[in-house]
A and B are shown apart, each in its own frame.
Chain A
Amino acid sequence: MGAAIVPWHARRVRTTDEPPAVLAEDVSKTFLDHGRRTTALAGLDLAIEAGEFVSIIGPSGCGKSTLLRLIGGLIDADRGALTVAGQAPADGRRAKRFGWVPQSPALLPWRSVRDNLTLLPGLNRGQGRGPVADDEIDALLDSVGLAPFADSLPAELSGGMQQRVSLVRAFALRPPILLMDEPFAALDEITRADMRFLLLDLWRDTRATVVFVTHSIAEAVLLSDRVVVLTGRPGQVADELTIELERPREHGLEDADAFHHHAARLRASLNKAADADGGPASDVDGTVQP
């Protein structure tokens, strides 16, 4: 089909009439910690279209995670307007519209892999997104190669396997928005590279919007339709980069010139964002090779 040549993001952005999946206008957030005020975000503007895969990257402490928690309705903004598909984030949370992927696998150690996947659907049941059928869980486990471990306890799995369970757990909710907080940061480099493509495989079949917080330039380029670069604290949007790499993206893309070109542009943008703030960008993983 000819349409496949059109970049993924462009196709989606043009065809949608619905309200943006995420719309932040002049959003600020200040924390009070032991009497000290820390402004994490100051006047942030951001729009994310439905179905878009957007990575958030920036210097350490720039408020990436704060932004993710604001979108997920886990904390409230002090100022500005933030909506998720036209709703208040807290309402979206109540309606179970978010698939949350934390940095650690966060599996309940006393539940089997299968029972960990049914945990979130089983909570807050009044909201329609109720229990998931057994064969649906089986299919999800199969899709990440964990079918033989359905009845294993998390402690019997390797770190990479645990993180795969964490990934499919979010997909089990069939959420319109996936919020991921550096989910691969703690993995070794080889496992991490494979996890990226696994995530793309899982995501391809859904129409979900993804907001993906990361420290890794390679990860941001490889996964995203668009990368949002934040400045140092207090965080604002410093730059936005559209990633014009065709989908589906496959192994080996990391070696392509187009990939390096994007990575270089992103790194330059990050350095600028860090310099503008005077802070170091040392926290960002600058290596291009995954």
Chain B
Amino acid sequence: MTALPPNLAVESPPDELEEEPRSSVARFLAPLTGLVLVFGGWEAYVRLAGVSPLTLPPPSRILGHLADDPGFYLRNGSITLVEAMVGFVLALVVALTIATAMAHSRFVERATMPLIVLIQSTPVAVLAPVFLLWFGFSPTPKILVAALFAFVPFVANALTGLRSVDADTLELMRSVDASRREILWHLRLPHALPGLFAAARICVSLALVGAVIGELYGGSTQGLGYQARIAQSRSLVDQLWGSVLSLALMGIVLTLLVMAVERRALRWHSSQRTI
């Protein structure tokens, strides 16, 4: 090694960011306390006040019902899950494509923005009957509603991320005549990732909402939304609440999955460091 100026040679890096000091037990204690209080209170209220199970079954009874026929919920849940996930991916792909075009052309951006605002301001749930009219008894209407629900957060965050790249870095890459494609791939897309993951965390739940709304409107014979509707019309309270709980669990698991992928993909990003 060549002789370095003293200050440069002995400099040490900034302190490693510390791991969260609390133990895993402590980390899960607070949220667990909240859950136990709410569900315990629910259970106690229903039992002590003698509420009819037709009005509100206690959590223990809903769980028991789920345990009795898990196949039913797995079957219908997987239908809803597939609709929601295809809608989610469709929204992501379309949003990324449109946002890329918008980030590269002010004209495309100006031409597209009113349409995006229109989608954003429309309660898209109302389009479910329209899609049902067009596509009838098929997963397509549910997928489209799911995609519409997830579209706006994706496109907004993708556009911001693709566009707001560091000016010095952009100039640096242009100084070697990097192509637009290279700049997109090496700079804009990675830079948009944190925003895309933030959107994805919201959009998995939104896509699930969209798929359920699609099922509630009809045109299906399976899926948790459909089963909840049937349960309501036939007063199958256990099945209604079983569907609700299954959807809630599905939403939680999907969000945790996104966060797990995010944690791996964005190790470089400040959002993934414990402060």
Binding site for B on A (CB under 8 A): 69, 72, 74, 93-94, 96, 98, 100, 102-104, 106-111, 119-120, 123-124, 127, 142-145, 147, 149, 152-153, 155-158, 160-161, 164, 173, 179, 190-191, 194-195, 197-198, 201, 251
Identify which of A74, A111, A173, A194 contacts B7 (C-beta below 8 A): A194
Q: Is the CB of A124 within 8 A of B1?
A: no
Q: Which among B2, B16, B174, B186 is the interface contact of A108 at CB below 8 angstroms?
A: B186
Q: Is B175 an interface residue (CB 8 A)?
A: yes
Q: Across the A-B interface, how many residue pairs have beta carbons closer than 8 Å?
A: 106
Contacts of B5 in A (CB 8 A): 194, 197-198, 251
Interface residues in chain B, defined as those with a beta carbon under 8 Å from any beta carbon in chain A: 1-2, 4-5, 7-9, 11, 13-14, 16, 166, 168-169, 171-179, 182, 186-187, 190, 193, 267-270
- Bound CA–CA A103/B167 (angstroms): 11
B178 CB, min distance to chain A CBs, angstroms: 4
Nearest B residue to A72, CB-CB: B175
State whether B176 touches A152 (Cβ < 8 A).
no
Residues from chain A with a CB closer than 8 A to the CB of B268 are: 109-111, 153, 155
Quick one: which of A72, A106, A124, A164 contacts B182, CB cutoff 8 A?
A124
Decide: A160 near B168, CB < 8 A? Known: A109-B269, A152-B13.
no
**Residues on the B chain within 8 Å of A197, using CB:** 5
Q: Would A124 and B179 count as touching, CB distance under 8 A? A: yes
Query: CB distance B190 to A108 under 8 Å?
Result: yes
Contact of B13 among A156, A164, A198 (CB under 8 A): A156
Which residue of the partner chain, among B169, B176, B179, B193, contacts A93 with CB atoms under 8 Å? Answer: B176
* Among A94, A102, A119, A160, contact of B8 (Cβ-Cβ < 8 Å): A160
Closest to A102 in B: B168
A143 adjacent to B2 (CB under 8 Å): yes
Extra pairs beyond A120-B176, A158-B14 (6, CB < 8 Å): A102-B171, A123-B176, A155-B268, A191-B8, A198-B4, A201-B2
7 contacts between A and B (CB under 8 A): A74-B175, A108-B186, A111-B268, A124-B178, A145-B1, A158-B14, A160-B11
Indicate if the CB atoms of B11 and A158 lie closer than 8 Å.
Answer: yes
